[in-house]
Chains A and B, each alone.
Chain A
Amino acid sequence: MNYTKQIQDIAAKLFAEGKIDVFVGYRMNGFDENQVPVLITDPQDVSKLVFTDKSVFNLVNYLKTDHTRRKRVGIVVKGCDSRSLNLMLTESQVKRENLYVVGICCEGVVDDAGEKMQNCTDCMVPDAVVSDEMLGTAVSGSGTLTYKKNADIVALAEKPLTERAAYFEEVFENCIRCNACRHSCPLCYCAKCCIDQETATLYNGANTTSAAFHALMTWSLHLAGRCVDCRNCEKACPSHLPLHLLHKQNESVIYENFQEHLAGVIPEDRGAFYKYSLKDPDDFIM
């Protein structure tokens, strides 16, 4: 998967036609094989753009910054990224007319070790669902592939409760409350996060296990039915916490019980918590 040339050409063309003010893409980080996001405002810098299977980050996150808000933006999105973009559009955070979206038919990206990432092997929607222009060959059945329940949560769910409790207590203990997960998430765009609000802080310690527990639980519930499994949060986490576990757990409950589509696949679909069905499970309620 290498669309470097195509993306450079598209960006150059868009700048030449005056259609965009900023192009959000990837560039080499300059010291190893990995890439970092880049916001290009000068057409001469277009040659910095790259796109390979090392283009791991979800660039939609950069649509919530002041560098892109109220500007005309060109952006590259993979399948998962495009779903978060869909949600951003539905939730009125970005305007479609301000965007030029280069969609990728994604073959999966790789981690530092060169292994295909877990969310890519499990991916149900490799093709971008929002785009003005698509690159690559469409993956057959994108969007209708079989749902694979995440292997990690299956394994954890089989363990005894006490072991799970111990496992997660360690996870929450290792959290340093830096909020990088929140900042890296495209869907965490609130003006002031509820966890930082007075009401919440009043009842919370600062950097403690129980505060981390509260923050991460609230965070994952706020993303339930919205998380697109791009794993930006995990890539950002300095403590390398397995944050995907919380999201995948919610996703599987929602997918299995409410017959909902995955988050952001359907335009105008707001996620499972903002609608209901009379057929929702009721047997867990006395």
Chain B
Amino acid sequence: MAEFVNLFHGFATVLAFQDVNVFGMQMYLPFNVFIMVVGIVLGVIIGVLPGLGGANGVAILLPLTFSMQPTSAIILLSCIYWGALFGGAITSILFNIPGEPWSVATTFDGYPMAQQGRAGEALTAAFTSSFIGAFFAVVMITLLAPLVAAFALRFGAAEKFAVYFLAFASFIGLSKEPPFKTLAAMLIGFALATFGTDHMTGSLRLTFGSELLIPGFDFLIAVIGLFGIGEILLTMEEGLKFKGKEAKINLRIVLDTWKKLPQYWWTYLRSCIIGCWMGITPAGATPASFMSYGIAKRVSKNGKNFGNGEIEGVIAPETAAHAAGKAALLPMLALGVPGSPTAAVLLGGLLIWNLQPGPMLFIENKEFVWGLIASMYLGNVVGLIIVLTCVPMLAAILRIPFGIIAPVILMFCAVGAYTVRNSFFDVVMMLVFGILGYVLKKTNYPLAPLVLAMVLGDRAEEAFRQALVGSSGSMGVFFSNALVSSIMALGFIALFWSVISAAISRIRGVPATAS
């Protein structure tokens, strides 16, 4: 039970009252809680404004924290990060523009809900699900930290590829669109992910001699174009309006939505487990959200309605993404491997405060580690309260007339595209992707597999090639031990699930129902 004692000390650290000087006034207050609130508010702003992603925000504010205690500093930075995660869901639901890769799956049902005037409900569900996922992961970290770190070490290149394969297989094969169009969309995504730099070797490919193509196509550019600009074009075609003017805008929707949520307890539990597992393995939050969405769609009795504004379709990806996001911090602290750009920037901060991430951190810097974990509990609660009180305000954004909101969204799309890499070429590509998104949608090509392939493409390719180098080219490496074989087997089952379930039904003599 040493963990509980440590955690208790952590809470004491976070809640301790201090004499501090705030804006020139001498005050006696729990400074770390104050910092937490500031961090989350800043984070939400950063998350909502495209171009100020979590990593950017943290990097910009990092120098400001050097004069603070390490514990306070990391609380500020991590709360900005949590805030940015909450913020990412807002633009996904309201404008169909996912700010971060893991909010892509949230758009599938969140945006239709907003269009039906249920923006408040979708936002509440998203925030609450993020909270539950994150909370579950933090509890797991508290209880299982050493075990989990050891498990993460078992993942070499082959195992990583197997996890990506599983994530892909559980998402793919359930779209309503014609199978060859789904396949084509997916292959375009994979192909786009390979342009420019080959991240494994650093060599160039598919640049056709152009310097502009060296950095490749960033996933965010594609998403801003495909979803954000594409949506505005579709809206124009349908005649000038974002539906959703009738959205209810009071705090009652929060309570009403909460009443509905407990019936989805099984979706929550499943998504939490998927999220934690993917966070540790360490595939990360994006595959977790897609995989959780895919499985929920298959398992749910409302599966057919997914994509048309089903609340379960918001719950599943948000819960899993945040469980994974938090769970992924554990390998960073325990092994020193950053799971995301933001984590990398945080890691840089740790080093400046003379904290060396790694197995010894948990032993030598107990106060810091458990202070951070305690701040994850508290930051989550504070964050939920802050964002929930904002729900009515956010839902009201949809009442702004199209004539004003559309150009403002366009401006933010351009800003977001530019800041990804400070490149004007990316802004041009954003428009190209926008038109592509419009035509793809009109001609019945699904966007989700394209996006998923673009996100996972280079990581999956890298793991695949590293595994093959290690085995000198033998494919047997993907079945070389119990762990990798079982993940691969699960992947194949997921991939051919519709065939398998149809076969089972036929054997039983039940009329086959494709799910």
Asked if A and B bind, the verdict is: no
